[in-house]
Amino acid sequence: EVQLLESGGGLVQPGGSLRLSCAASGFTFSGHALSWVRQAPGKGLEWVSLISGSGNNPYYADSVKGRFTVSRDNSKNTLWLQMNSLRAEDTAIYYCAKRGSAWYNYDYWGQGTLVIVSS
Amino acid sequence: QSALTQPPSVSGSPGQSVTISCTGTSSDAGSYDRVSWYQQPPGAAPKLMIYDVSNRPSGVPDRFSGSKSGDTASLTISGLQAEDEADYYCSSPTSTNTVLFGGGTKLTVL
């Protein structure tokens, strides 16, 4: 059974940093691209980043480019999102999602971890 | 401002059919042949319902179907059930290896 378990969310001040983790199991981790997708309270889904199975090709939404870094360790079946220079508008539930039939659709999602950026 | 436009809400009675549209409003909205649809019940994570316009993942009821005409993709749910009440999102890849989501549509089963 595929499982994705996010952790690391919490309350952080504007300008601060946070590192999210996504522990994966139930599939060949290195063979699948993974993404982070976020959802602000009461709002819609917003794609954040994508990393290939090898970890060599990361992509970012313009809204987080230069502030967020996605990485993965295929030996630990873990995905990370390092978030720096956080802003109030980064407040959201952050989901990790596994690639489905192609890199642009997601067949499994975690339950999400909540990040609140506030002073 | 999303480049994929969905109606904010739709509704239908049990047993009826409803259709949710997803229209591209930007030249960078990507290929409409790669539209996916997700269902998100309140308080839950999204679930993939349709990929590449009209393909259903294993386990998704055949009451859910997808189609496309020009720049508009559509999700049709036939034989509405109370459990179908949720938010629905379309998505599409862009030419710069990012993904766009539509603004979401709230489906109410009357």
> Which residues in chain B are closer than 8 Å to A109, comparing Cβ atoms?
45-47
Q: Chain centroid to CA A50: how far?
A: 8
Residue B28 confidence (pLDDT): 53
User: pLDDT digit string (tens) for A2-34?
Assistant: 999 999 999 999 999 999 999 999 999 999 999
CA angle B46, A114, B2 (to 5 degrees): 55
Tokens 């990485």 locate to A71
Pick B31 or A45 by higher pLDDT.
Answer: A45
Reported confidence tier of residue B79, pLDDT bands at 50, 70, 90: very high
**How would you write B1-24 as a 3-class SS string?**
CCCEECCCEEEECCCCCEEEEEEE
> Which residues in chain B are closer than 8 Å to A107, comparing Cβ atoms?
48, 57
Q: Is B102 in Cβ contact with A44 (below 8 Å)? A: yes
Q: Chain centroid to CA A13: how far?
A: 19
Whole-angstrom Cα distance, residue A6 to residue B110? 35
> Which residues in chain B are closer than 8 Å to A47, comparing Cβ atoms?
91, 98-101
Q: Which residue does chain A place closest to B93, by CA atoms?
A: A104
% of chain A residues with pLDDT over 90: 97
Q: How many other CB atoms are found less than 10 A from the CB of residue A10? A: 11
| Mutation target vs A (from B54, B55, B60, B98; most A CBs, 10 A cutoff) | B98
Q: Is A35 in Cβ contact with B45 (below 8 Å)? A: no
SS3 A39: strand
Q: Which of B34, B48, B96 sits opposite A107 (nearest CB)?
A: B48
Q: Which residue does chain A place closest to B36, by CA atoms?
A: A105
Is B90 a residue whose pLDDT tops 60?
yes
User: pLDDT digit string (tens) for B11-61?
Assistant: 999 999 999 999 986 655 555 689 999 999 999 999 999 999 999 999 999
Q: Is A106 in Cβ contact with B98 (below 8 Å)? A: no
Is B3 a residue whose pLDDT tops 90?
no
Whole-angstrom Cα distance, residue B13 to residue B81? 8
Q: Which of A35, A44, A60 sits opposite B103 (nearest CB)?
A: A44
Q: Is B36 in Cβ contact with A104 (below 8 Å)? A: yes
Give B78→chain A minimum CA distance, Å: 22
